[in-house]
Amino acid sequence: MSTLNNLDAQPTTGAWIGAVKLVDLGRARRWGAWYVAEYRLRNMSKWWQAIIAFGIGNPVLYLISIGLGIGSLINKSTGGHGVDGVSYLEFLAPALLATACIQGAMDETSFPVLEGFSWTRFLYAMNATSLRGSQITGGIMIASFIRCVATAIMYGGILVAFGAINPTHLPALMFASIFAGMGFAAVMMAMASHVRDDDGFFAIVGRFVIAPMFMFSGTFYPIESMPLYLQWIGWISPLWHSTDMGRNLSYGHEVAPWLMLIHFAYLAALYFVGFYFAAKQFAKRLAE
């Protein structure tokens, strides 16, 4: 009892001031998205070897087997003219870089979102702090962007080493690829935020979204060479929009100015629409 009386008698100066003073809520609100991104980056660091292996492994295999292997046959059969006036490897490079960026970015907005809502439920723990749903959504996108940029730098370096692109064209090509990656990642986050149990949802996306997007987006051949009833798959694919821009920026593939504007506007629309619906669904689920 005497101890309690002594505590009650303590002056206010130097006494316990409470969490309201110890925690800077204003700072948390200003930098909340970056705190979420920091958490995701620390989480990524646990398996950085796998991220590198899977992020650039498949595109490198395509680069060697198709770009160099089949590409040598294509170049020979066309008398050295390749495709679109350049070697097949140069034609293929923008599509492979865009593919790597899309894969890297979406990996951070698909299963991690399902994990945060349904498995470890770390998103609810974040929401129990002063973080808002929009900040959590933004933090995940920041982490996705950083991973996408890292993938672009690594794979872009490989393309330069193989002589697939001119080093001076790499920054512009990376911009087009990262833009596509973030647009698709935002859409995937919006979709993943609705998933409560992974009953094959992501497998369906892989088979009926990713695979057709990869095959029918002018990746391995000009989209104009496909029948018209298949070309629409490429028209709605961020991979084609990025690849067409990338080929223009890397080796001067002819693209009308109005079409370049459509490419840019379409990828921007994917990002903003996807992010809007993702943030809306995050707020709804975190309030449950």
DSSP assignment letter at 79: T
What pLDDT was estimated at residue 203? 86
Q: Which residue has the tokens 């993702």?
A: 278
What pLDDT was estimated at residue 74? 84
What pLDDT was estimated at residue 27? 66
Distance CA 106, CA 189 (A): 8
Residue 88's H or E segment, with its range, is helix 88-107
Question: Is residue 95 a contact partner of residue 243, using CB atoms and an 8 Å limit?
Answer: yes
**Mean pLDDT, 10 residues at a time, the chain of 288 residues:** 46 52 63 91 88 75 81 77 85 92 92 92 90 92 96 91 91 95 96 88 87 89 89 94 95 94 97 96 92
What pLDDT was estimated at residue 24? 62
- Interacting residues of 246 by C-beta distance below 8 A, sequence separation 6+: 94, 95, 97, 98, 173, 176, 177
Distance CA 45, CA 78 (A): 46
What pLDDT was estimated at residue 1? 46
Read off the pTM. 0.86
Residue 73's Cβ-count burial label (10 Å; 0-12, 13-18, 19+) is exposed
Question: Is residue 80 a contact partner of residue 217, using CB atoms and an 8 Å limit?
Answer: no
What pLDDT was estimated at residue 3? 45
Residue boundaries of the structural domains of the chain: 25-286
